[in-house]
Amino acid sequence: MLLTLDLPDHCFPPKQDTNDLACKLKLYSALLFFQSGQMSRGGACEFADVDIYTFMAACKQYNIPISNIEPDSIEDDLIRFESLHPNQ
């Protein structure tokens, strides 16, 4: 899909590299879509055209959790696993 945006020149530094700006807009949009639950991590990486490591580093930089699993849920899962598989 091709999307055209009309951006005011005064919002950006003079002589802003348009390719760099496009990459940033895609990444920031992907971060917001991911954070709001509208896009999966894989979908966000594809949307932003970055690898998973770059995307996760950006999540860390902007304090966006990469998982919505609560610590108590992880502990409950471990207890269930250990009760079902006591010798592992």
Is 25 within a domain?
yes
Is 26 within a domain?
yes
Is 41 within a domain?
yes
N- to C-terminal Cα distance for the chain?
49
Is 71 within a domain?
yes
What is the span of the domain harbouring residue 29?
Answer: 16-84
Is 10 within a domain?
no
Is 34 within a domain?
yes
pLDDT tens sequence across 19-63: 999 999 999 999 999 999 999 999 999 999 999 999 999 999 999
Cα torsion 68, 74, 80, 86: sign = positive
Going through 1-88 in order, the beta strands assigned E by DSSP cover none
pLDDT tens sequence across 53-66: 999 999 999 999 98
Task: State how many domains the chain has.
Answer: 1
The rounded distance, in Å, linking the Cα atoms of 75 and 7 is 48
